[in-house]
Amino acid sequence: MATEPAPLEKTAAAAVDPLHTGVEPLVRFDKVVKRYGDHVVLDELDFSVRRGEHVTLIGPSGSGKTTILRLLMTLEKVSDGVIWVDGSPLSHVRGPDGSLKPAGEKELRRSRKKIGMVFQQFNLFPNMKVLQNITEAPVNVLGMDKDEAESRARELLDLVGLSGKVDAHPSQLSGGQQQRVAIARALAMRPEILLLDEVTSALDPELVAGVLDLLSDIARTTDITMLCVTHEMNFARDVSETVLMFDAGRVVESGSPEKIFTDPEHERTREFLNAVL
């Protein structure tokens, strides 16, 4: 599904890669600011994610972690700065003179196709059966053949361990099952980037492990780039290569899970980990 970016875009992207790292990150936040009125949620945030990387965002509530995912999903607009995805500006289009202008709904829809999201509250469509929840977007957005979409949906339901629930309605499923369907629904769009927004926070404790195991499997067996906001530190340790610690709209510290969890440099990280572990 991934279309190769045009060479021209590559060059242009390289021009805005001041570090000349050579490897273009898949996601790059460039001085991203998000304000709600006077309240600054993200304060000139810079960070990048490599293709295939699994990144966990941790930090106290209100530190802007979820906002990052919502900006990437284009559910919110940046107040300032640019988010780059695969060398193209996510929420902007380049004008004929090379300047960046805010993107319209059509451009946004195009950029969204690469990105999938799983929500804390599942957000399945209650008026559709499980199967249709999964096939709806592949058929109507990607233009996939209905039979093909259905057989793929069945495979995905098999993967998430719910092959028996094809004809169930979401309301007949437990929270954990609903979240598995939501994961299958996101995967059905073959996203390059999967955003996981506190996907186990709304689940009963005994259902958490199953969903986390599933996500670990997906992280291990696919090359999907993942950004997770989570309070499950074990998950962060097992699944991600990189942990970003946020506080007050900035990255306080980043590094491998071993580094962050065993030898954090920043006082704020230590305080936070002491409180949650």
- For binding to other proteins (CB under 8 A), which residues are involved? 73-75, 105, 109, 112-113, 115-117, 119, 121, 123-128, 136-137, 140-141, 185-186, 189
Least separation in angstroms between residue 201's CB and other proteins is 14
* CB crowding 243-276: b at 16 or more within 10 Å, else e: bbbbbebbbbbbbebeebbeebeeebbeebbeee
Q: Find the shortest distance in angstroms from Cβ 241 to other proteins.
A: 24
Q: How many CB atoms lie within 10 A of CB 116?
A: 23
Q: Which residues contact 89 (CB under 8 A, 6 or more apart)?
A: 82, 83, 100, 103
What does the DSSP assignment read for 209-224? Answer: HHHHHHHHHHHHHS--
Phi/psi at 13 (nearest 5 deg)? Answer: -65, -40
Conformational region of residue 44, where left means phi above 0, alpha means psi within -120 to 50, and beta covers everything else: left
> Given the complex with other proteins, which of 88 and 269 has the nearer CB atom?
88
User: Looking at the DSSP assignment, which residues form a beta bridge with residue 85?
Assistant: 27, 88
Q: Which is nearer to other proteins, 7 or 104 (CB)?
A: 104
Q: Which is nearer to other proteins, 124 or 243 (CB)?
A: 124
Q: CA nearest 198: which of 89, 117, 115, 86?
A: 117
Q: To the nearest whole angstrom, how small is the minimum distance from the Cβ of residue 275 to other proteins?
A: 29
Of the pair 140, 262, the CB lying nearest other proteins is at: 140
Give min distance, CB of 123 to other proteins, in A: 4
* Residue 111: CB minimum distance to other proteins, A: 9
The CA–CA distances, whole Å, from 131 to 91, 125, 160, 175 equal 32, 11, 13, 17
> Cα–Cα distance between 33 and 45 in angstroms, integer?
7
- Residue with Cβ nearer other proteins (105 or 223): 105
Question: How far, CA to CA in Å, does 65 sit from each of 75, 80, 90?
Answer: 14, 17, 18
**Nearest approach, Cβ of 146 to other proteins (angstroms)?**
14
Smaller CB distance to other proteins: residue 127 or 274?
A: 127
Nearest to other proteins of 70, 92 (CB atom)? 70
Name the minimum Å distance from CB 72 to other proteins: 10
